Structure 1
Amino acid sequence: MSATPYIFDASTLDFDQSVIQNSFHKPVLVDFWADWCAPCKALMPLLAKVAEEYRGELLLAKVNCDLEPDVVARFGIRSLPTVVLFKDGQPVDGFAGAQPESAIRAMLAPHVQTPPAEEVAPLETAQALFSEGRIGEAEALLAQLFAEEAEPAPAALILYARCLAERGALDDAQRTLDAVKGDEHKSALAAARAQLTFLRQAADLPEVAELKTRLAQNADDDEALYQLAVQQLARQLHEPALEALLKLFMRNRGYADGLAHKTLLQVFDLLGNDHSLVTGYRRKLYQAIY
């Protein structure tokens, strides 16, 4: 059985109800298949994908021909896979044999209503824009959202603060983060605070080119290595920054009272526990400690 209510098994006992009667409300696509039929198994996921994308405007019934010979005989099924579309109690279209997705959609188009477009919440759109580096667009969308809502959601405030921070409005970003109440978004708030910290630190540090020159002259310059990592974090170059911080921790874990270790943990907060870099570097840090 499928996890979606739009896809179900049909049998001799319930075929009239689940297919014929249902087809007076929504078109029902019936997939006649068998376990030994390789083309059937290739077709199944395509049919399921199409049915799910119609989001209830199309139902998909699956008939196992080995278990339901009476249904097979009733509709004269002679080859597998066979797919029949029922509408208003009658078969109206279909095909035999495996078909590409484009052909399935073309067959359904005249009979099945296109589902309404899913509305995307403004916050989700802003999050997507931010992830794509379109910071200004994300900020503008959030500002519009705030103008329409008396009490902005904490997640929206945090994202807005990150937008402000990215364009250098660090004080405004801090005030926005300070307005976030409650512990529900604790991890996202920690990430935003970490980002803001790195940007503030980077503003007072030497330029990247100067730090790289210092390291070229003296590879053991711990201060230059740490400052370069912070500059990289401010530019969201997370992997080289993590590598530099881990290198500094391994050779001088006492630097600035354990600053490399503390900063690594801040970066983990910034990226989130599920990030692949965090998974890898947390393991490396653990190995370095123990």
Structure 2
Amino acid sequence: MSGAVDLSSLKQPPAGGSAPAGGYAVGEADFETKVLRRSMQVPVVVVLYSQRSPGSVELVRTLERLVQADGGTWELATVEAEANMRIAQALRVQGIPTVIAIAGGQPLADFEGAQPEPQVRQWLTAVVDAVAGKLEGAEGAAEQPVEDPRFVAAEEALDRGDMAGAEAAYEAVLAAEPNNEDAKAALRQLRFLARAQQVPESALATADADPANVDAALDAADLELLGQRPEAAFDRLIATVKRTAGEDRTKVRTRLLELFDLFDKAEPFVVAARRKLATALY
């Protein structure tokens, strides 16, 4: 998951809602450090939620109350699923919300769906009891690495909702280090999310009703990718490549390559989509 950036702060909550506070927000950029490495010393409870779901947000609130009451026996990491697709995929999440306890760098226990507080408390107690005395000072526990202040500045800009400031911060990194892959990946994801969040929900229906509309297909693919359906997005654009020629085909192919670059090249669905694209082109 390296080379990605937590863009969850850019996802705006629905009317009347707000992003959860407490615990600590985690994204693709810091999942290894804040969850996997930290879990060598203390169990980390990861909750993958959606701001679109009131029950999902309420579960986060419940966990926030409990982690504050438990005084450091476990830690809470919140992951906004729609902005961190690869975390959800890596953890094989099937539904939102999902709660996963990670200890020693490995998933220990999980549950799916909103649960009443007494059941959540019982589950947490079992998790803490299961790892008691087995993690602190465990061999292989790593010190938290010093964060690059330039990336910290970019992430702070994201926290404030300052997309332009975050983009400028990453561009400054690349101006000094043109080959900095983390900054390149962060910019790609930032620019994708900025574009995709402007696409109206109606774009999917428009594209389905008019398959020849190239711009609608591009917008619909953005929505599908934002909704954690990369295979659907890729298949839509590959089908559009097959139907088009000339400048339209080049336009769609260029967008596909941009979307591929949002993921690890070794991801099976990326490998499969690249093969389909090659077949469509040649």
Check whether TM > 0.5.
no
Larger Rg: 1
> TM-score when scaled to structure 2?
0.43
TM-score (norm 1): 0.42
Where relative contact order (Cα < 8 A, 6+ residues apart) is larger, the structure is 2
